[in-house]
Amino acid sequence: MDSLIRAARRLPLSGKLGLGLVVFWIVVAIAGPFVAPYPPGSFVNEEVFAGSSGRFLLGSDFLGRDVLSRLLSGARFTVGLSAIAVAIAASIGTGLALCAAVGPRWLDEILSRSMDTLISIPSKIFALVLVAAFGSSIVLLTLILALTYVPGNFRIARSLAVGLARLDYVEVARARGEGRLYLALVEVLPNMMRPLFADIGLRFVFIVLLLSGLSFLGLGLQPPDADLGSLVRENTSGLAEGALAIIAPAVAIASLTVGVNLLIDAATQGKAE
């Protein structure tokens, strides 16, 4: 913990800003709904697309609901679903990558071939096909998001793992008679954590953008649930007047994704250069 705080202190300004944003959104995702002034679904203001006021910090939306309350609950969906999806994607992708790196050659061939196939379907197209086929309930949506980014994570993790598995210290452990599980988990995995975390962070950003994009198109989270992308979509009619109801959630997404990007960039650069 101490070393984490020290590492955070050493971050450049952009990294500190990123860290601040990331921490802020994690806190919002956890505590947001408890501090929301109104239930997200209730109509509390006569005026639609109202501006900022003392009662409604971020104004009201196209139905007169409180934008701040809806944003707080939407952020939980966006951050939560994306985090779960990226965890699933990374576990599957990295798990398979380790199998490919220490397993027999044919397994590597099969896995790499299949992942190369999946990666040649652009991720948004792939997600659209999956949504069309399976619909977008919360569980399915999370799985779709995860599945879409398994091949990318696999590719990065495999190239890391294969590179490491060729190193002499793995060769020594192999010559000692160690099993494949030991090689994968004890010799290889610990040394790929840093670049892997950077990749997971980037993939989290992609997933947030994909989820928001899908919801913005009406293909993501379905009402009454709403993530940040849905909030942008439902308030598009307020665009002409520049309503806070559309600007706020869009800026919220951007501050989350930009924050993660800044943090990763600062954290990885400190070691690389």
Partner 1 sequence: MSGTAPAARWRGPARLVAQRVVLALFTLLLVSAVIFTISGLLPGDAAQELLGQGATSEQIAALRHEMGLDRPAVVRYLEWLRAIIGGDPGMSLVANKPVAEIISERLPNTLTLAALTTLFSVPFAFLVGITSAVTRGRTTDRALNILTLAMVALPEFLVATIAVLVFSVKLLWLPSITIVPQDPTPGEFLRAYAMPVMVLGVGVIAQLGRMIRAAIIAELDRPYVEMARLKGVSQRRLIFRHVLPNAVGPIVNAMALSLSYLFGGAIIVETIFSYPGLASLMVNAVTSRDMPLLQACAMIFCATYLLLVLIADTVAILANPRLRQG
Partner 2 sequence: MTAQAQIAPSQTGAAHVEVCNLCVTVRAPDGSALRIVDDVSFAIPRGEVLALIGESGSGKTTIALSLMGYARGGARIEGRIRVGDATLDGTESASLAAQRGNRITYVAQSAAAAFNPSRRVMEQVIEPALIHGTASDAEARRHAVELFEALSLPDPAGIGSRYPHELSGGQLQRLMAAMALITRPDLVIFDEPTTALDVTTQVEVLQAFRKVVRDQGATGVYVSHDLAVVAQMADRILVLNRGRVREQDAVRAVLETPADDYTRTLLAAARPVVKAAVPAPATGSPLLSIEGICAGYGPVDREGRAAHPVLSDVSLHIGRGAAVGVIGESGSGKSTVARVVAGLLAPTAGTVLLDGQPLARSLKDRSREELRRVQIVFQNADIALNPAHSVGEILGRVLRFYEGISGHAARARVAELLDLIRLPAAVATRRCDELSGGQKQRINLARALAAKPDLILCDEVTSALDTVVREAILELLAELRRDLGVAYLFISHDIATVQALCDEIVVLYKGTCVESGPARAYAAPPFHPYTDLLISSVPELRTDWLSDVGRKDPPRLAAPDDGGGLCRFLPRCPVAIAGRCDTASPPLRQLDSGNAVLCHRSQAELAG
Q: Which does 205 bind (CB under 5 to 8 A by kind): partner 2, partner 1, none?
A: partner 1
> What residues numbered 150-169 form the site for partner 2, per CB under 8 A?
167-169
Residue 46 near which of partner 2, partner 1, none (CB within 5-8 Å, type-dependent):
none
CB of 159 to partner 2, least distance (A): 17
Site map 150..189 versus partner 1, x via CB under 8 A: ----------------------------------------
Q: Does 6 bind partner 2 (CB under 8 A)?
A: no
> Would you mind telling me the total number of residues written for the chain in this entry?
273
Within a 10 A sphere around the Cβ of 88, how many other Cβ atoms?
17
- What the block records as the tokens of 152 is 């990318």
**93, 99, 105, 110 alpha-carbon torsion, rounded to 10°:** -40
Among 1, 133, 168, 176, binds partner 1 (CB under 8 A): 133
Residue 246 binding partner 1, by CB under 8 A: yes
- CB distance 1 to 251 below 8 Å: no
List b or e across 51-79, with b for residues whose CB sees 16 or more CB atoms inside 10 angstroms: eeeeebebbbbebbbbbbbbbbbbbbbbb
Which does residue 190 bind out of partner 2, partner 1, none, counting CB within 5 to 8 angstroms by kind? partner 2
199-214-145 Cα angle (round to 5): 40
Residues 177-216 that bind partner 2 (CB under 8 A): 177-178, 187, 190-191
- What does the binding site for partner 2 look like in residue numbers (CB under 8 A)? 167-169, 171-172, 174-178, 187, 190-191
